[in-house]
Amino acid sequence: MITGETAQAKLPVRDEPPRRGIRSLARSVAQVDEIGVIGALVVLIVLLAFLVPETFLTPQNFINVSRQASYVGIMAVGMVFVIAMGDIDLSVGSIWMLSSVMMAIALRDGYSIWIAVAVCIVVATACGLLNGALSVALGIPTIIVTLGTLSLYRGLGLVVTEASPVSGYELKTWFFEWVGGRDPIFGVWISVWAALIVGIVGWVLFNQTAFGRRVQAIGSNLQAARFSGIRIARTRILVMTLMGFIVGIAAVVALAFNRNGSPTVGVGTELGVIAATIIGGTALTGGSGSVLGAILGALIIALIQNGLALLAVPPAWSVAVTGIVIIVAVTLDYFIKRRS
């Protein structure tokens, strides 16, 4: 007679390892919020490496692409907050232009670098504050307000510069030589370092603070956010002010590289910033966003422009191709998240 203990002893013991194989790894990868934009970026790099390997796969080309992406990337960090809140800022290009020419005028008039930088940041921040204040005071969407201030800020810039580039100041200074990227750190432009720093701070602010959660709550459900005690008006003004401040940072590093205050700078930039933010996974309906994705989206746009230039494609096509990439990136991101 076989006892229960004997029967239990005769049963084979199978050591089942934890299920952390390829399927589990794929599941974990699919849960990465930025997986769609990362996939699009990899595909784009491989495609350009295949089409134009001699010119694309060079250190200097990668350095130039990163610099081109850095300005849009910096501003896209601020746009994540705006769009996640359910708004859109169309005036970022004009704020960039106005703040940069005001900085150039300060330099031309003999003020120090630090005062000129402060002028740039203050002007850009004040423009963002005005956008938010007008939207709250008038009770209209920010996109409508910034549609008007887009022309207002650019018009003021044209008036103060008399529609001519601002120059006539000393260029052989640490600001233009170092911040302007003529002497990059470890082969990387200062503007790229600035984008990384802004991105890290923006990620922490958006994902790890009560302010970021309030922004996402407003974009997700405005009425629920109001009933939960969130101060909607104050948060909207703060977000738009933050947007202006971040544009001011981009204007400082851009002026250091361009070396003159041009009244044509920033034309159409708002479309690139919004596109980078959307490509990066921030939903136009609000409620969520990705700071890392926005920076990667800016890199995708810069790679598109760079690749088309290397392929000798007319610049007008870059707009159409950017639209295609937006559709592909958003669709890929949607299906991957839905499957996960």
What are the tens digits of pLDDT across the range 62-109? 888 988 899 999 999 999 999 999 999 999 999 999 999 999 999 999
Q: Which is more confident, 113 or 32?
A: 113
Whether pLDDT at 336 is above 70: no
Quickly state the pLDDT bin for 325 (edges 50, 70, 90): low
Buried b (16+ CB within 10 A) or exposed e, 147-163: eebbebbbebbbebbee
* φ and ψ at residue 166, rounded to 5 degrees: -95, 125
| CATH code for position 269 | 1.10.3470
**Which pair of structure tokens corresponds to residue 62?**
């990668």
Residue 52 lies in a domain: no
Q: What separation, in Å, do the N-terminal and C-terminal C-alpha atoms of the chain show?
A: 52
Would you say 101 and 255 are in contact if contact means Cβ atoms under 8 Å apart? Answer: no
Domain assignment present for residue 7? The answer is: no
Q: Among 232, 84, 83, 77, which Cα is nearest to 146's?
A: 83
pLDDT tens, 270-316?
A: 988 998 998 888 888 888 889 999 999 999 989 988 988 888 888 77
pTM of the model: 0.85
**15 within a domain of the structure (yes/no):** no
**pLDDT value of position 259:** 85
**Residue 3 domain-assigned (yes or no):** no
Can you give the residue range of the structural domain that contains 145?
A: 60-339
Q: Classify residue 82: in a domain, yes or no.
A: yes
Residue 208 has pLDDT above 60, yes or no: yes
Amino acid identity for residue 194 in this structure: A
Residue 11 resides in a domain: no
Q: Over the stretch 129-154, which tens digit does the pLDDT of each residue have?
A: 999 999 999 999 999 999 999 999 99
Question: Would 27 be classed as within a structural domain?
Answer: no
pLDDT digits (tens, 9 = 90+) for 176-206: 888 876 666 666 778 899 999 999 999 999 9
How far apart are alpha carbons 299 and 305 in whole angstroms? 10
Looking at the 3D structure of the chain, how many domains does it have? 1
304, amino acid identity: I
Max mean pLDDT range (28-42, 163-177, 247-261): 247-261
Q: Please determine, for residue 24, whether its predicted confidence score (pLDDT) is greater than 80.
A: no
Question: What is the predicted pLDDT for the residue at 337?
Answer: 58
Q: Is residue 64 domain-resident?
A: yes
Average pLDDT, rounded, for the chain: 84
The structure tokens listed for 279 are 């490509």
User: The tokens of 261 are what?
Assistant: 């205050």
On the question of pLDDT at 42 being above 80, the answer is: yes
